Structure 1
């Protein structure tokens, strides 16, 4: 199958300890200017992401790690995206992903919850081999950020969120574990100045990286944020999630000064689309012949996992 070229014959994965995996995100950040991170919601999606290689202008391109999305973890369980899944539940899926992959993971921690809970969550995720958690500066019942002000969302005050960052950093046991602060000012239409003030405060509170989030399609506001942030913090890793401004190329975002680009939900969204198409086709056509060309063969599926056949 042409669309699976390069990952049909999966080689045996090299084993890696949790400690070794946790260190790799900082190591890759030091060696590469900008990382590509993709959402993985299951072991098979993570294996596909890890093994995918594409040649572009004589460069072999690959993903640098995984994003553990609270949205896609919730969708996988057909649960509402309101922080309904606790860390222990999500950790089971992470352990299964880590069993068959080697790349580092960034964990979407939503608001981080109560500080008392966050402290224990940081330690559990760190022990499991997660490299970074991202906490967003909102409070109350979680609502998806891309809904913006169409739903009620409340941003945390700066002092309170700085305390959350500080306590998360104090609770970790290793130097390589990272805590990133996700700023929701642009999502909630509070403006660029508010976002920059918060970014400076969060870095001073100990955040290892800053994720600026935006739902505007043009990408202009994240470009301006990146420019002004870099003037103040030239070495702090800067992250973005280009779901709304998906037309912006990796190279453009890299040139703006972003160090980590997260493709946050595309593996799950494409899987849902494909499954819906297959289910509808079998019903409407009365047989599965018409969708066979869009599926790998059973033999390929069995061969996809090393040791199956």
Structure 2
């Protein structure tokens, strides 16, 4: 874990003082070793993910919408999501891959999203081949209508043509297995998106076992594995991580667990305080205010106030 002083010094440094985020994400996706992205949904959770030691962040659409209090059905506009991502990017020096849903419209909306993400230091975007507005893939009996494969491939091409940084990553998320289509369709779509320029494909499944992923990886290797494969084992979480490495998966996304952990913690604490009408039994179960100040970067602010404010500094921290 980075010390607070070292971490904050990097946070307030110029971009050239740490590795380029887009290059770092591309390295993760193309590594010969299994790599991991951890979910975050705001600036604070993003900083916590970095301090935990993760090399990359998944900007989860489900988690971002949940912390805004709306459904994961594009109820939060793309500009509202972008605002959240800006805080996350500013709070960290590791790359963020945004869960960009369908790109919030057609190719024109998606390529504008890419340009705006680049401006905010976000390293990549993952786009899924469903129709706007999307439905969460894990929703029971949810509408899972797929986009036309040729049109979505051209959307990927438009995004790649729009990026100004050659290392910005566009990941194509294949929803064929989620929608109940056969493996042949999943492979056909993945090949089309890789041919269109996708830096990786995300193969999604909501089975409780890894059979979908194992089946896809077998077929993917038969066609030469033209792009790295990313997975999201939210439903098949009992599968040993070693298995993903054995079948040639590139990157694993832990997709929503910080949001879910915070929901449970806030429910428990709120219910406890409501019942007890005091704080005696909860103070030891929550982070200290001092720890919150540390995560917010108060030490750096104190140092800066001493440098840039006149006087004896007696107002520091007030």
Q: Which runs of 5+ in 2 are unaligned?
A: 300-316
Work out whether 1:175 is the aligned partner of 2:173: no
Aligned to 1:23: 23
- Residue of 110, 117, 125 corresponding to 1:125: 117
Work out whether 1:191 is the aligned partner of 2:189: no
CA distance in structure 2 between the aligned counterparts of 1:50 and 1:76, rounded to whole angstroms: 19
Contact 2:89/2:96 (CA < 8 Å) preserved in 1? no
RMSD: 2.1
Cα 1:180–1:299 shift into 2, 3 Å: closer
Q: Which runs of 5+ in 1 are unaligned?
A: 1-5, 53-61
- Residue of 226, 246, 249 corresponding to 1:258: 249
CA-CA distance at 1:141 after TM superposition: 2.5
CA distance in structure 2 between the aligned counterparts of 1:243 and 1:10, rounded to whole angstroms: 35
CA distance in structure 2 between the aligned counterparts of 1:28 and 1:181, rounded to whole angstroms: 16
Offset from partner CA, 1:241-273 (integer Å, 9 cap, x none): 111111123322122211111111111111011
Cα 1:226–1:73 shift into 2, 3 Å: same
CA distance in structure 1 between the aligned counterparts of 2:110 and 2:178, rounded to whole angstroms: 24
SS, match of residue 206 in structure 2: coil
Contact 2:89/2:122 (CA < 8 Å) preserved in 1? no
Alignment of 1:1-309 (within 5 A): 11-13=6-8, 14=10, 15=13, 17=15, 20-31=20-31, 33-52=33-52, 62-112=53-103, 113-147=105-139, 150-234=141-225, 236-308=227-299
CA distance in structure 2 between the aligned counterparts of 1:283 and 1:258, rounded to whole angstroms: 46
Contact 1:10/1:51 (CA < 8 Å) preserved in 2? no
The number of equivalent residue pairs is 294
Larger Rg: 2
